[in-house]
């Protein structure tokens, strides 16, 4: 059966646009899906750790990255949120400068060495001691968390009973929330039942983004034949975790969970030292999210499903970040769509689900988008 529905354009509350020549493609792909606004990650090279002035070999400024994005088409977004990368050099004075000069809305915590270009991050205890989180609370700056513990052994990092994310949401974040109950926190790209449980039971200051790949796939999809295009951090988890994520997004009237793709453009997924972390979903994110809602048992012929999908894609994230919901629209149609690799001056981008070697039809796109 073919049917369509139209919604306000959506907000991607976690995306990697990257730099240089890739920006023309990544921004165009993002806009092509009816994406009105984005929160673009600061783990660039060099990282975005200062507010204004010229960049250096070790630090990019928010103002310079903003200008680079605008020069590649980002002025078409209704809202562009650029977080500051928290590092050893972050100070309360720097945060005050950010709010004063560029209306800084968010800062990003990376566990040291936890993901792509996260080597500059410091342990959470450092920011507590330096008064960073206290200042963010006072200034109304959102803390965007990559929620994984960084000091675990290999055995604990990904085990049957414990993993880096599970440990973080059981032992670290509860203490942080208790210490700073008024601090606004977004738990980004959550992957575990424990993260779902914590966010669901928290007050309105705590929310979470969920990616399409973590709603659709498990670690088994990654490992069987090693579908390295599914390799991302945090890693895909188990069926119990995927079921919890799906239940979170289809719970009636939920306001804690919203779209954040973590789309990451890598022209070389496999490298001499391993596999680059990140899935490129910018051209098809709404398609994949719609497939995930269906996999969770929802039917888009139902008004209740349309409301759930609208809340997740277009409403909850905007409300949390204080953005106006878009007055423009995009339309989704229940019809198969094709996807091909993106050729760029820097190499080829392979979007999900292109490149996956599954059998059957579970990876085919069953929705199309028009704007």
Smallest Cα–Cα separation from 217: which of 234, 192, 231, 236? 236
Residue 57: how many other CB atoms lie within 10 Å: 7
Alpha carbons within 13 angstroms on the beta-carbon side of residue 26 total 29
Q: Compute φ and ψ for 207, nearest 5 degrees.
A: -140, 180
Among this protein's residues, is 197 annotated catalytic? no
Structure tokens that stand for 210 in this block: 């969920």
Distance CA 353, CA 209 (A): 20
Separation in Å, CA 308 to CA 26, 199, 257, 262: 27, 18, 11, 21
3-state class (DSSP) for residue 206? strand
b (16+ CB within 10 A) / e for 163-189: bbbbbbbbebbeebbeebeebbbbbbb
Q: Within 13 A of 89's CA, how many CA atoms are on the CB side?
A: 11
The whole-angstrom separation of Cα 52 and Cα 60 is 9
Within the chain, residue ranges assigned H as helices are 22-32, 62-71, 92-102, 124-129, 132-139, 154-157, 164-167, 173-179, 193-201, 212-216, 219-223, 239-250, 285-295, 303-310, 316-321
Of 292, 262, 288, 289, give the one whose Cα is nearest residue 277.
262
- In the beta sheet, which residues pair with residue 368? 333
Closest of 161, 160, 163, 159 to residue 149, by C-alpha: 163
Catalytic-labelled residue, pool 167, 203, 262, 346: 262
Residue 232, CA distances (Å) to 266, 354, 357, 369 in order:
11, 15, 17, 25
Judged by DSSP in three states, 158 sits in strand
Residues forming the active site: 262
């Amino acid at each position: 059966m073919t049917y369509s529905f139209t919604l306000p354009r959506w907000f991607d509350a976690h995306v990697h646009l990257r730099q240089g020549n890739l920006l023309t493609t990544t921004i165009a792909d993002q806009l092509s899906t009816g994406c009105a606004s984005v929160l673009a990650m600061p783990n660039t090279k060099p990282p975005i750790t200062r507010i204004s002035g010229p960049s250096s070999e070790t630090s990019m400024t928010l103002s310079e990255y903003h200008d680079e994005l605008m020069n590649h088409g980002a002025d078409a977004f209704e809202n562009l949120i650029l977080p500051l990368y928290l590092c050893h050099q972050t100070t309360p004075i720097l945060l005050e400068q950010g709010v004063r000069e560029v209306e800084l809305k968010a800062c990003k915590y990376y566990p040291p060495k936890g993901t792509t270009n996260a080597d500059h991050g410091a342990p959470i205890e450092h920011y507590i001691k330096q008064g960073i989180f206290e200042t963010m609370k006072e200034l109304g700056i959102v803390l965007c968390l990559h929620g994984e513990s960084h000091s675990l052994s290999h055995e604990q990092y990904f085990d049957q009973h414990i993993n880096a994310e599970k440990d973080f949401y059981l032992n670290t974040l509860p203490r942080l929330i208790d210490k700073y109950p008024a601090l606004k926190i977004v738990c980004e790209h959550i992957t575990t039942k424990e993260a779902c449980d914590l966010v669901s039971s928290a007050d309105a200051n705590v929310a979470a983004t969920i990616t399409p790949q973590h709603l659709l796939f498990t670690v088994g999809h990654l490992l069987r034949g090693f579908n390295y295009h599914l390799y991302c951090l945090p890693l895909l988890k188990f069926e119990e975790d995927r079921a919890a994520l799906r239940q979170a997004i289809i719970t009636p009237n939920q306001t804690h969970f919203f779209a954040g793709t973590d789309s990451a453009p890598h022209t070389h997924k496999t490298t001499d030292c391993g596999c680059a972390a990140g899935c490129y979903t910018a051209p098809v994110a709404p398609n994949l999210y719609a497939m995930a809602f269906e996999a969770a048992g929802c039917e888009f012929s139902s008004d209740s499903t349309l409301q759930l999908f609208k809340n997740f894609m277009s409403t909850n994230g905007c409300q949390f970040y204080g953005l106006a919901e878009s007055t423009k629209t995009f339309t989704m149609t229940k019809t198969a769509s094709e996807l091909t690799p993106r050729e760029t001056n820097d190499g080829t981008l392979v979007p999900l689900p292109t490149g996956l070697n599954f059998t059957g039809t579970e990876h085919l796109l069953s929705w199309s988008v028009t704007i």
